[in-house]
Amino acid sequence: MHELCNWLLRFLILAAALVATSCAQSSQTQHLQQVLGIGLENLILSTLYNDAPRQNASYDFIIVGAGPAGCVLANRLSENPNWTVYLIEAGGVEGMFHQMPVLAAYLQGTHSNWGYKSTPQKRACFGMYNNECFLPRGKVLGGTSSINYMIYNRGNKRDFDRWAAAGNKGWSYAEVLPYFLKSEAANLAGLEDSPYHNRTGPLSVEDVQYRTPAVHAYLKGAQQAGHPRTDYNGESQIGASYVQANTLRGRRHSAYRAYIEPIRYQRKNLHIVTMTRVTRVLIDPVTKRATGVELMYRNKYYKVRARKEVILSAGAFNSPQLLMLSGVGPADNLKAIGVPIVKELPVGKLLYDHMCHFGPTFTVNTDRQLLNIAHLNSTVVKSFLLGNPTTMLSSIGGVEALTFFKVPSSKEPADMPDMEIITVAGSLAADQGTALKQGANFKDELYDKVYRPLQVSRQDHFSFLIMQFHPKSVGRMWLHNRNPFEWPRINPKYFRNEDDVQFMLEGIKEAIRITQTPAMQALGTRIHDIPLPGCEQHNFGTDDYWRCSIRTLSYTLHHQVATCRMGPESDPSTVVNAELKVHGIKHLRVVDTSIIPFPPTAHTNAASYMIGEKAADMIRGDWQ
């Protein structure tokens, strides 16, 4: 019955979208957003979806948060019909917009984003209002995998070997690769026989079928500059590659689509509730055993019990927040906010992230062949809605290629990259300043001076994002009061360590060098050289100019990790052990990206699936 309602609703929405796009001839996406009212759609779908909580109900497992790790756990644990599972999600259910990969940035302006921001940064985020970098996070069934850029990237072999070397038994590359494979359904040209890819798992990984001339030229150019072609999820990361994406036939394939939708109405032992906030974990202060959670559903508090385990999969900001609200955290912070201490642990004391430089941007002499939302018309939207995976709407927010490489300052082994170039068909101007700029809190004056000229001329252009994998700058997060509905305070301390700026500078220089190759010059590639407001005192293109630019166009790729760091109990920087059990607390695990102990050589979404798969196996091992 529910399934039927869902399909009927989706059909009506599809029809509405077709009508809306036929009517609208300009700024279609904004128009679409208004017509469909993403919030309303969310509300209706989630009402259909909910297994409302009952006071003092009990389940074998309670999973808090439906991000990649939480969705994997919900699916895998409910495979056993003897176990009951309750999956609790603060956000709603995905709608039509989540499925359109090109609109990734727009989702940050919806209810599907928690809307966190950093504290004002002293050494970064100068291009943002109040020096505050925005820190989006998914708040929807699917979590951040429902609003992210869909890049599929696992990490370097050495990343996991280092986790294991730090005392985390079972987490070496050889031991985690099977879990990456277990989740993957690859459809990648030329990699059909690769031992590094599986074709039959739940999560789709495919080539992006919409590609611009810039990315083809870029990959040729990168090779001319000495970067080999590679499968960055294969034998060696070093080199350049078309991006591998979590899309299925050109539509976003989130954790919800991959792990929940296929089983939603098949398993009676899996209950799901959306638009519901867990406010703390119930922990017996004497036995130190987690017994359930307190949650708020439609303005009313409930307690729900866990017979076997409570599992926090609330993400890198909310899992630590929930631990602290439940009395598990640093003594000084808990005392300051008046939460009785159940167990003193360094929750939130460490926070690594991957900062980028948004740029440089380059113009090319093609005409209307690169990504620009202004080129979107109703024919294209209709074609996408009817299933065509090759339209501009299937571009994953413009991301086309990734290049992993080393810079002269590197102290890492030869097979361990320090930096990544992310090739993007467009810039802040590609959406006319409507989404990316707002999503990242960029100042109008910066947009108007540097990017508006590109918006006006509509000249084809592309950008690089230059990302550093292993920053020395380390941040932290904490709670400033005990209200579970308030945001945690997050200070990533970007670029506090000057060495990180040097790595970024060397990365930018390498990207520029690639644009000077014959393949890239054949497109008439020319650097967009309007100096940034605040950096005009330096000559454009000098090292000091770039240093200023790095601190101004600071743009995080949202790979926050280590806030509930994994490691042996003897290591005072850690919160969970190698089985992801919270030190000193029984029947409580943290399973998400917050446990990742070091900044990885990768984007973090794939790892979250792997962590969920591995945790499900460990939990099965404990209870079966």
Q: Which of 157, 308, 493, 603 touches ligand FAD (CB under 6 A)? A: 603
- Contacts to ligand NAG from residues 224-283, by CB under 6 A: none
Residue 140 among known ligand-binding residues: yes
For the chain, the C-alpha Rg in angstroms (whole number) is 23
Which parts of 127-146 interact with ligand FAD (CB under 6 A)? 136-139, 143-145
- Binding residues among 45-74 for ligand FAD as defined by CB under 6 A: 64-70
Per-residue binder mask for ligand NAG (CB under 6 A), 188-227, x = binder: ----------x-xx--------------------------
Task: Scan residues 54-73 and list those touching ligand NAG (CB under 6 A).
Answer: 56, 58
Position among 27, 30, 47, 80 found at the interface with ligand NAG (CB under 6 A): 80
Residue with tokens 């899309």: 247
User: In the chain, what's the furthest Cα-to-Cα distance?
Assistant: 71
Alpha-carbon gap, residue 65 to 278, rounded angstroms: 9
292 binds, among ligand NAG, ligand FAD, none (CB under 5 to 8 A by kind): none
Closer by beta carbon to ligand FAD, 125 or else 385: 125
375 contacts ligand NAG (rule: CB under 6 A) = yes
> CB–CB of 612/591 below 8 Å?
yes
The verdict on 379 binding ligand NAG (CB under 6 A) reads: yes
**Whole-angstrom Cα distance, residue 208 to residue 170?**
33
Compute the distance between CA of residue 106 and CA of residue 94 in angstroms, rounded to an integer.
14
Residue 293, SS3? Answer: strand
Evaluate whether 136 touches 108 at the Cβ level (below 8 Å): yes
The DSSP bridge pattern shows strands 419-424 and 461-468 to be antiparallel
List 39, 120, 170, 178, residue binding ligand NAG (CB under 6 A): 178
Q: Which of 31, 158, 305, 449 binds ligand NAG (CB under 6 A)?
A: 305
How many helices (H) and strands (E) would you count in the chain? Answer: 18, 25
User: 78, 168, 577, 608: which one contacts ligand FAD (CB under 6 A)?
Assistant: 608
Q: Residue 57: what residue type?
A: A
Give the integer Cα–Cα distance in Å for 421 and 151.
13
Identify which of residues 355 and 364 has a Cβ nearer to ligand NAG in the complex.
364
Per the annotation, does 501 bind a ligand?
no
The one-letter amino acid code at 231 reads D
User: Which tokens in the block code for residue 126?
Assistant: 């100068």
In what helix (H) or strand (E) does residue 276 lie, and over which residues does it extend? strand 276-284
**Residue 553 in tokens:** 């166009």
For residue 420, the SS3 value is strand
Does 517 belong to an annotated binding site? Answer: no
Q: In the window 268-287, what residues touch ligand FAD (CB under 6 A)?
A: 277-278
Among 182, 277, 581, 614, binds ligand NAG (CB under 6 A): 182
558 is a contact residue toward ligand FAD (CB under 6 A): yes
When the beta carbons of 66 and 304 are compared against ligand FAD, the nearer one is: 66
Catalytic residue IDs: 559, 603
Backbone dihedral angles phi then psi of residue 554, each to the nearest 5 degrees: -75, 125
How far from each other are the two terminal CA atoms of the chain, in whole angstroms? Answer: 33
User: What is the phi/psi pair of residue 301, to 5°?
Assistant: -85, 140
Task: Give the residues lining the site for ligand NAG (CB under 6 A).
Answer: 56, 58, 80, 82, 178, 181-182, 198, 200-201, 305, 375, 377, 379-380, 624
Task: Give the residues lining the site for ligand FAD (CB under 6 A).
Answer: 64-70, 88-91, 136-139, 143-145, 147-151, 153, 277-278, 313-316, 318, 322, 558-559, 592-593, 603-606, 608
**Binding site for FAD: which residues?**
140, 144, 278
